[in-house]
Structure 1
Amino acid sequence: MSNQPYGYEGHHGQQQGYDPYQQPQQPQQYPAQPQWQGYDESQAHAQQWETQQWQGQTWETQQWQGQTWETQVQPQAPVAPETAYLPQQTDHRPHEPQVQPEPLAEPRPGAEPGYGPPTLTGNARVTDAQRARAEGRSPIIEPGMQPALITAVLGLLLAGAAAVGEFALAVPLVILQAVTAAGWFRLNGMWPARQGIVLAFAGALAADAALFAAGREHAPAAILGTLGVWVLLAIVLGLRSHADPDERMYGLMATVASAALSIIATGYLAAVADAVVVGGVAVAVAIVARALPLPTAASVVVALLAAAGAGVAVGEVTDLGSSGALLGLAAALCALIGHRVAAYDYPSRFVHFTAGVALPLTAAAPAVYLLGRALG
């Protein structure tokens, strides 16, 4: 038997014995990559990093590194910065001539005025009235014959309804009050002003209702009381507005004036019926005569004389008699003032058919009421 330990093999492929004190075999060291001439420094660092990773990683890490190239992070191509210089594009197309806008033609003196869009505060451009003053022309445009005929029809309706009774008179009166409220706001360049128009018209209806409830003998208290309440209401609503102070004050004054005029028209309902008949006819005749193609002074004289004659004629039919001439003359004078106000500062056609129709009759209401009570 051999004196070698069990399991030991000889030099030529024989089994050697297991030595428990034998040191564990160190992993094989890979030689460093040779530094070739011209070898890139970045490649050298990458090779060194791979060597270190191979030495210090476990089997699992080696397995991860052994995956296919599709699971590895691919290097990204460098992205050009946003501020990179772009080559200038040269347009080789022939240049087309630019069409210059034609200048607007200046308005000729004496031509029909143009009306701009209505606003609350007015336009920044020069208005037609300012241009007319600068050129020495009058800013007054008369409403014309058509609004005068409508005023005459409405005046005759007031006269005929007054002869029938109070409730019949309320129908054309309400129409007059509505047109007055809308026409005053449009005359002041405030359109659309629905809240102000509705507020003024509501005050007129409230005055009519108060007069029906209180009776003609308490007409001043009903009219003035309603006017005071509506002025206070307009002030409260004006203070709640978020507009500029100037616009707020301008709107407040327009609302108060519109409500006052609409409420004053209730005087027809408070006046004596005969006075309303004479006054309505006198205003109708005076406004038609004023619209005749005559010089201003001549048309005013003709209108006043025609109103006085109509007052005498209608007064003979009623109980007023010859005193109807005075009432007709006073009503016509107030109507001409309202007609002049509706023609001021280049109003539009809509103003002519609202304020131009209603203001003559509305302005005559106090004279009809006061003289009717005095003469009757």
Structure 2
Amino acid sequence: MSDQQRYGQQYGESYEGYDPYQQQQQYGGQQPQEQPGAWPGQQQPAYDDAQAQQYTQQWQGQTWETQMQAPVTAAPVTPAAVAEVPETPYLPPQGTVPGAADAGYGPATVAGNPRITDAQRARLEGRSPIIEPGMQPAALTAVLGLLLSGAAAIGSYALVVPLVILQAVTAAGWFRLNGMWPARQGIALAFAGAVTADVALLAVGRENAPAAILGTLAVWVLLTLVLQLRSHADADTRMSGLMATVASAALAIIAAGHLAAEPDAVTVGAAAVAAAVLARALPLPTAASVVVALLAAAGAGIAAGGMTEMGTGGALLGVAAGVCALVGHRVACYDYPSRFVHFTAGVALPLAAAAPAVYLVGRALA
């Protein structure tokens, strides 16, 4: 029984739909006159055929009582249901396919949602978005660190060769770590800043190293701001591009600290980073791996310090460089990085992050 029927039975009258034709027959085809003092809503205006068809509603079929419906209970959430969330086929909404004449829902996929990232899948499944680079990137870091260590003992111009490689890999790896690829202009801009810092250091000497590095960094931040203001991209894209370019340029320029540091400090610090990263890649629990890596860095610092004039002070420099290297290693592990990230950022960030410690601790111990 509908609400209208119950209303009619309650007040002793039946419910009938509004029919303008019945009103015309009742009044003999003439408009009813409004009684004096009647409410405005009591007047029944006449409508033509088009207006009557437009405003007349006809109720057909049976109605039902919503109170009589059985309550609907939610299905329990199980771990299996959560695991199936990434496997739900992605059906793009209508009109999202650019250039398509009839953009509708696409066919279901059998390999899961193609637009979901590995990090999003890991979060939905309750897994950690951290992936260790492994032994191969660690071995490359160790090789590059030993090249820096040996070249520093030869001279500044010999040190430039592995340093430029480190700066190029740092710039490319940071953009890829942030999910921006290809980013040739940003990588080229960051790498150009690093090369400029190297040239400035060779020109002014180690005694003016802070001015050369900070001055280059300030100029490159300003240059990046100007280039991003000239971009025609949307605000979010420009902001993310600005932050990635500034951070990439800063890391590549800071890596020039190896060139600004004392040669003995570079020899000890680079050897300590190589030992720390190799120890960190061993299949051990995280806490034990960090402790072993710091011990390895200290041991490498003592060994390299014994071959230089730093002596036992190399242990302190080795621990400081090892801590910075582990920080860079951790950054390269974040958010389910790809193999390309591991072989770029995973290789370069430990050495680039250790450059400030090598410069500062080396000068303090000298």
Please indicate, yes or no, whether the TM-score normalized by the shorter chain is above 0.5: yes
Structure 1 CA distance for aligned equivalents of residues 109 and 151 of structure 2: 57
Q: What is the one-letter code of the residue matched to 1:244?
A: D
2:207 aligns with one of 201, 217, 225: 217
Q: What is the one-letter code of the residue matched to 2:245?
A: T
Structure 2 CA distance for aligned equivalents of residues 278 and 327 of structure 1: 7
Q: What is the one-letter code of the residue matched to 2:210?
A: P
Q: Give 2:172's aligned residue.
A: 182
Structure 2 CA distance for aligned equivalents of residues 235 and 370 of structure 1: 29
Structure 2 CA distance for aligned equivalents of residues 313 and 103 of structure 1: 57
Question: Alpha-carbon deviation of 1:207?
Answer: 0.4
Q: Give 1:206's aligned residue.
A: 196
Question: Alpha-carbon deviation of 1:130?
Answer: 2.3
Question: Alpha-carbon deviation of 1:127?
Answer: 2.5
Report sequence identity in percent. Answer: 78
Q: Give 1:252's aligned residue.
A: 242
Q: Give 1:333's aligned residue.
A: 323
Question: Alpha-carbon deviation of 1:135?
Answer: 2.3
Q: What is the one-letter code of the residue matched to 1:104?
A: V
Structure 1 CA distance for aligned equivalents of residues 107 and 182 of structure 2: 33
SS in 2 for 1:259: helix
1:104 aligns with 2:106: no
Q: Give 1:153's aligned residue.
A: 143
Deviations 1:42-101 (A, max 9, x none): xxxxxxxxxxxxxxxxxxxxxxxxxxxxxxxxxxxxxxxxxxxxxxxxxxxxxxxxxx97
Q: What is the one-letter code of the residue matched to 1:202?
A: A
Structure 1 CA distance for aligned equivalents of residues 200 and 300 of structure 2: 32
Q: Give 1:132's aligned residue.
A: 122
Structure 1 CA distance for aligned equivalents of residues 315 and 347 of structure 2: 23
1:170 aligns with 2:160: yes
Question: Alpha-carbon deviation of 1:105?
Answer: 4.7
Q: List gaps (5 residues or longer) in structure 1.
A: 1-99, 108-115, 117-124
2:309 aligns with one of 309, 315, 319: 319
Structure 2 CA distance for aligned equivalents of residues 229 and 248 of structure 1: 19
Question: Alpha-carbon deviation of 1:132?
Answer: 1.6
Q: Give 1:228's aligned residue.
A: 218
Q: Give 1:192's aligned residue.
A: 182
Structure 1 CA distance for aligned equivalents of residues 109 and 232 of structure 2: 39
Runs of 4+ with deviation above 4 angstroms: 100-103
Structure 1 CA distance for aligned equivalents of residues 338 and 193 of structure 2: 26
Structure 2 CA distance for aligned equivalents of residues 131 and 341 of structure 1: 20
1:308 aligns with 2:308: no
Structure 1 CA distance for aligned equivalents of residues 139 and 126 of structure 2: 31
Q: What is the one-letter code of the residue matched to 1:162?
A: A
Structure 1 CA distance for aligned equivalents of residues 198 and 232 of structure 2: 32
Deviations 1:306-325 (A, max 9, x none): 11011111111111111100
Structure 2 CA distance for aligned equivalents of residues 207 and 348 of structure 1: 30
SS in 1 for 2:187: helix
SS in 1 for 2:358: helix
Question: Alpha-carbon deviation of 1:129?
Answer: 1.5
Structure 2 CA distance for aligned equivalents of residues 316 and 356 of structure 1: 29
SS in 1 for 2:243: helix
Question: Alpha-carbon deviation of 1:239?
Answer: 0.3
Q: What TM-score comes out, normalization by structure 1 length?
A: 0.68
Q: List gaps (5 residues or longer) in structure 2.
A: 1-105
Question: Alpha-carbon deviation of 1:104?
Answer: 1.2
Q: Give 2:269's aligned residue.
A: 279
Q: What is the one-letter code of the residue matched to 1:129?
A: A
How is 1:65-76 mapped onto 2 (pairs within 5 angstroms)? none
SS in 2 for 1:313: helix
Structure 1 CA distance for aligned equivalents of residues 324 and 109 of structure 2: 47
Deviations 1:300-353 (A, max 9, x none): 110000110111111111111111001000101100000000010000000000
Question: Alpha-carbon deviation of 1:103?
Answer: 4.8
Q: Give 2:71's aligned residue.
A: none
Deviations 1:231-280 (A, max 9, x none): 00000000000001000000000000000000000000000000000001
Structure 2 CA distance for aligned equivalents of residues 102 and 338 of structure 1: 41
